[in-house]
């Protein structure tokens, strides 16, 4: 175990981070198991090494109901993520992985897309509250891959990418999906849409529809994304929008 309250430990870790930055060329940090030490300690490491980007892994359990599924309201879960960033310094480079969005998306794509509109009409994950500080993802080395601890439904992975790559937040692509699953071209098309239209971490999200079989949203007035099997959505798409990417139960205009 590392005693992060030990001043010598702090000093040597800061020196190591600055060496990684100055000599090796790293410019950002990922804080693994960040709930294992206080945000005050993480703030020391960030303030004294000044990375251009830092992201924390704060993986806690969502609130579940008697049916074994996540409750619609996950405010407490995302509040914990927001609190960490607040304590580390909201004006700095600190962000957190949006585990709230990941957990809700896991279930929503299985015929419960209504979950993607919170009670306030906004996105139900951290991106609904503080998108500039939320790093969205579909799976990572813990949740997916060989560890398979909380995997996204494998036949609906591209719906997950259609969501995070068109929505606010800083979206993150999983190596396995991109290089091993044969999804490179599909993911590339979504990345191109995001880049071409300048979708960014603080883009404006307007949720048009969120039913069991249909999620429809407009981002920055430039991009529209549809998830779900429902096809009769033509009347909901404004004139002038053309399909730019599509696949199994998703489309992007």
Compute the CA torsion angle 214, 219, 221, 223 (nearest 10 deg).
-70
Residues with Cβ within 8 Å of 211's Cβ and at least 6 positions away in sequence, in order, are 113, 114, 228, 230
Conformation bin of residue 242: beta by default, left when phi > 0, alpha when psi is -120 to 50? beta
Give catalytic status of residue 32 as yes or no: yes
DSSP designation for 148 = -
Choosing from 1, 23, 32, 185, the catalytic residue is: 32
First-to-final CA distance of the chain: 50
Q: Can you name the residues that pair with 195 across neighbouring β-strands?
A: none
Tell me if 208 sits within 8 A of 113, measured CB to CB: no
Choosing from 1, 12, 27, 57, the catalytic residue is: 57
Tell me if 140 sits within 8 A of 174, measured CB to CB: yes
State the burial class of residue 8 (Cβ atoms within 10 Å of its Cβ: 0-12, 13-18, 19+): exposed
Q: Can you name the residues that pair with 136 across neighbouring β-strands?
A: 171
Give catalytic status of residue 176 as yes or no: no
- Annotated catalytic residues are 32, 57
């Amino acid at each position: 175990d590392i005693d992060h309250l030990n001043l010598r430990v702090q000093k040597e870790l800061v020196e190591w981070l600055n060496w990684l930055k100055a000599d090796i060329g790293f410019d950002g940090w990922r804080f693994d198991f960040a709930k294992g030490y206080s945000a005050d300690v993480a703030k020391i490491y960030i303030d004294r090494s000044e990375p251009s980007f830092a992201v924390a892994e704060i993986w806690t359990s969502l609130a579940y109901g008697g049916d074994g599924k996540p409750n619609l309201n996950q405010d407490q879960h995302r509040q914990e993520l927001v609190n960490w960033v607040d304590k580390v310094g909201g004006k700095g480079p600190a962000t957190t992985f949006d585990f709230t969005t990941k957990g809700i998306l896991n279930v929503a794509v299985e015929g419960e897309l209504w979950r993607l509109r919170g009670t306030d009409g906004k996105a139900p994950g951290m991106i609904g509250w503080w998108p500039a500080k939320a790093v969205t993802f579909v799976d990572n080395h813990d949740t997916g891959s060989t560890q398979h601890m909380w995997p996204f439904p494998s036949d609906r992975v591209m719906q997950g990418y259609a969501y995070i790559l068109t929505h606010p937040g800083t979206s993150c692509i999983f190596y396995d999906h991109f290089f091993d699953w044969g999804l490179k071209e599909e993911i590339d098309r979504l990345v191109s849409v995001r880049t071409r239209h300048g979708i960014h971490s603080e883009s404006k999200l307007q949720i048009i529809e969120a039913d069991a079989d249909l999620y429809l949203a407009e981002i920055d007035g430039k991009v529209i994304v549809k998830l779900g099997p429902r096809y009769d959505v033509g009347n909901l798409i404004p004139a002038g929008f053309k399909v730019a990417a599509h696949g199994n139960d998703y489309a992007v205009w």
